[in-house]
Amino acid sequence: MDVQRVRYDVPGWGVGELWLDEGVVVNHESPVARAGGEEGPSHPLVERVRAYFAGARDAFADVELDLVECTGFQRAVVDALRAVPYGETVTYGELAALAGHPGAQRAAGTVCARNRFFLFVPCHRVVGAESLGSYGSLGVGYKRRLLELEGAL
């Protein structure tokens, strides 16, 4: 595997990083304030990510992801989540049902917690039944900001 790491800066959000293997995304780190490193070589997907953060609607549905290690259940959750439209949210229970596994909301939440494809598998669109829910190390403030960007809040 010859992985290309592409660092990029998004004004007002910070520095993110895409990891690509022959055009297939193998990892995507969200833009956050972080020290060190220069922006990497340009890539067309970076321009789309920047446009998203500037308010452009993009489903990123055509972006190929490295999902070879996913189980059937994980793949079903990923596919269901990628189908949630920009600006809309679903609960963990709704996501599980959309993936064909009603009642598996905790397992669907685990898939979200282990998501390595930030915008391309938009876990920020999954909310708790009574609250926004968590958003890992980025925190609920980052999740709220993404949902506000999309007009979901």
Known catalytic membership, residue 112:
no
Tokens at residue 48, please? 């789309």
In angstroms, rounded to a whole number, what is the distance separating the alpha carbons of residues 149 and 81?
18
Which positions ≥6 away from 125 have C-beta within 8 Å?
A: 81, 84, 88, 89, 90, 147, 150, 152
Q: DSSP letter at 129? A: S
Of 49, 123, 126, 146, which is the active-site residue? 123
Per-position b or e across 59-96, b if 16+ CB within 10 A of its CB: ebeebebbeeeeeebbebbbebbbebebeebbbbbbbb
Indicate which residues carry an active-site annotation.
Answer: 123
